Amino acid sequence: MLVFLPWLLRNKIIQNNTVTQKQNNSEYDNAITLWKSKVANNKDGITSDEIKQTLYLSKEPQAVVSIKEDKTAVDHIQNENPIFLYDGTQQGTFLTATYTNLKNSYFIQNGQKVRIAKIVRRFSNLKSLVTPTTIAFWTGTNDQHANSEQLKKTALFVCKDPWYGANFRNATAVTVTDEFYDNLGNKIDPTGGYYIIGSLNYTGNADHESVRGTGVKPMTIAGSSINIQKDGSLMANSSNEVRLSNNGLTVTSTPGNNNWDGTDSSHSDRKYLYYGAGVLKITSSTPSLTFETSGDNPNENIGAQWFQITTDLLANPIQRKTTQTHYHYNQAYDLI
């Protein structure tokens, strides 16, 4: 509903709301400081408020992907998201996916929004599992698991929408390098942006998922289970198969499931997604990320990982209150 207010009354409302927001900010600062002091891990980690994001990668349902096989796969499974099969390790760049018709992703450059019109994603150094296991795939639209093709091959799934990332099977690592371009074909330098890498699982049975990179600086999130390792990678030091409650301050071990990874029906409002996530601040024009699985010995390596390269700022469990003033200013009513 439109409300017409004289300018004095309007200014009074704005002043009151400004005072209220300052009080809300002070209460939030105190609450987040107290919360960080009580979390079990990464007390000195950053929160979403401290990330000044300039890179925004969003879902792109209308994306068109074209594939260049820099090294020819031995077989293919043509699903909604194509699958490429290889005989063992692939050194160097072996596949390039070019995404166009992007509508929702952009970069803030000199205070201006620059739409990302194209992403060139290069996959390199696919490292095969020492002892490949039998894997299978559905041939329908859901190609994450399997029941129609039984193959002992090293596999890479490439998602049609770049936001959904990729998936490797019968492998332990792959490197991904993204380049961003505007609608004129100019390369965008993402330096200063942040990658937010989530769903870094550790089962506690020697199955680790990790990410490390070049041209990036690893950072931890307050309260997250993910730590910076000696080699600069981001990985959990202990099992994060847990259920969180009490704004993440109560952590209950639940082997085999969790409520922070979006896989549980009780998961709500992305509240605890931060628990399996880490941050990589981009420090070069062409950063590369290596996603890797590991175990205590080769026979314990799970040899599969689905990963996303996202920029989503994961909300803190403690939320800031906001005030908003909605009014329509009309000079005809500015009589005072």
Check residue 332 and give its pLDDT: 37
Give the side-chain half-sphere CA count within 13 A for 175.
16
Query: Which residues neighbour 275 within 8 Å (Cβ) at sequence distance 6 or greater?
Result: 223, 224, 225, 240, 242, 244, 248, 260
- Cα–Cα nearest to 86, from 173, 169, 178, 148: 169
Class of domain 48-307: mainly beta
What is d(CA 121, CA 59) in angstroms, rounded to the nearest whole number? 16
- Cα–Cα nearest to 198, from 50, 105, 315: 315
Identify the bridge partners of residue 180 per DSSP, sorted by sequence position. 119, 188
Higher-pLDDT residue of 62, 265: 62
What is d(CA 94, CA 175) in angstroms, rounded to the nearest whole number? 10
What is d(CA 198, CA 295) in angstroms, rounded to the nearest whole number? 19
- Cα–Cα nearest to 47, from 334, 322, 320, 315: 315
Higher-pLDDT residue of 146, 190: 190
Assess contact for 126 and 94: CB atoms under 8 A: yes
What is d(CA 135, CA 148) in angstroms, rounded to the nearest whole number? 10
Q: What percent of the chain has pLDDT over 70?
A: 82
Q: Considering the chain, what is the average pLDDT of its residues?
A: 84
pLDDT tens track for 85-119: 999 999 999 999 999 999 999 999 999 999 999 99
Assess contact for 191 and 284: CB atoms under 8 A: yes
- Cα–Cα nearest to 57, from 14, 99, 12: 99
What is d(CA 52, CA 219) in angstroms, rounded to the nearest whole number? 14
**Sign of the C-alpha dihedral, residues 78, 82, 88, 93?**
positive
Enumerate the domain spans of the chain: 1-42+325-336, 48-307
Collapsing DSSP to helix, strand or coil, 3 comes out as coil
Region 180-194 average pLDDT: 97
Region 165-191 average pLDDT: 96
Check residue 204 and give its pLDDT: 72
Check residue 330 and give its pLDDT: 38
Check residue 133 and give its pLDDT: 67
- Cα–Cα nearest to 179, from 111, 96, 61: 96
Assess contact for 180 and 119: CB atoms under 8 A: yes
Collapsing DSSP to helix, strand or coil, 191 comes out as coil
DSSP of 193-228: -EEEE----B-SSS-EEEEEEESEEEEPBTT-SEEE
Backbone angles phi, psi at 310, to 5 degrees: -120, 170
Query: Cβ atoms within 10 A of the Cβ of 9, count?
Result: 14
Collapsing DSSP to helix, strand or coil, 105 comes out as coil
Confidence class of residue 137 from pLDDT cuts 50, 70 and 90?
low
Lowest mean pLDDT segment, chosen from 8-17, 161-170, 206-215 = 8-17
Check residue 223 and give its pLDDT: 93
